[in-house]
Structures are given as C-alpha cells and as structure tokens.
C-alpha cells in the first residue's frame, strides 16, 4: 500500500490504485479519480452508477460486478461502456472509491 494525495486529501491506495478505505472517498476524490481515468466531467448518469455502487457495496459488502450493475442497478451494459469506456465495472469502482470487482483482471 502507498499513500497518495487525491483532491488535497492523503489516502491509502493499493498496488492497482484503488482506495484501501472506502470511507476516505469524497465527491471531490471521485472527480479527481475520474480525470485520471480520462473522464473529464462526471454527469448525472455517472453519479447514478457511482451512487448505486456505493450503496450496493454498503448493503452487500462486495463491489458490484457489471452484471449486477445491469441486472440490479438497471443500468444497461451499453450505457456502462459509454460512461466508463474500456472496463466499466473496474473504472466505476475506482471512481466510487471501492476495490476492484470480483472477476476483473
């Protein structure tokens, strides 16, 4: 683990750059992480995915997969790929301050 400054806050991240403690997350950190991932502006649609992921994680204790985002979150897979290109579950989880979803490489 390493400490990294994101949006003016010192946080611990794992070797893949995911926050170690989801409670360190803020909306400002999300915006900074999104910019690192090539997403310059988080739209209302992005926030809907992020907020679902955080709520689902709080309830289930596991980072939702792309299948769960689609089936339970009601977000079409095509839309997920448009919002978070090249690995939507992994990118969305990082921006949401959560760990890497199960099954992601």
Cα distance between residue 57 and residue 43, in whole Å: 21
DSSP 19: B
- Active-site residue, 104 included: yes
Strands 9-13 and 2-6: antiparallel
The helices-and-strands tally (H runs, E runs) of the chain is 5, 2
Q: Are 50 and 42 in contact (CB under 8 A)?
A: yes
Token pair, residue 85, equals 């290109």
Q: Are 76 and 70 in contact (CB under 8 A)?
A: yes
Point out the catalytic residue in the list 26, 84, 104, 105.
Answer: 104
Catalytic residues: 104
């Amino acid at each position: 683990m390493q400490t990294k400054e994101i949006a003016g806050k010192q946080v611990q991240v794992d070797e893949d750059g995911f926050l170690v403690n989801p409670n360190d997350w803020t909306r400002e950190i999300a915006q900074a992480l999104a910019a690192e991932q090539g997403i310059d502006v988080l739209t209302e649609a992005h926030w809907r995915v992020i907020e679902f992921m955080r709520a689902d994680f709080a309830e289930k204790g596991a980072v939702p997969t792309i299948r769960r985002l689609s089936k339970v979150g009601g977000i079409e897979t095509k839309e997920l790929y448009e919002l978070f290109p090249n690995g939507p579950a992994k990118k969305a989880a990082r921006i949401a301050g959560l760990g890497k979803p199960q099954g992601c490489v």
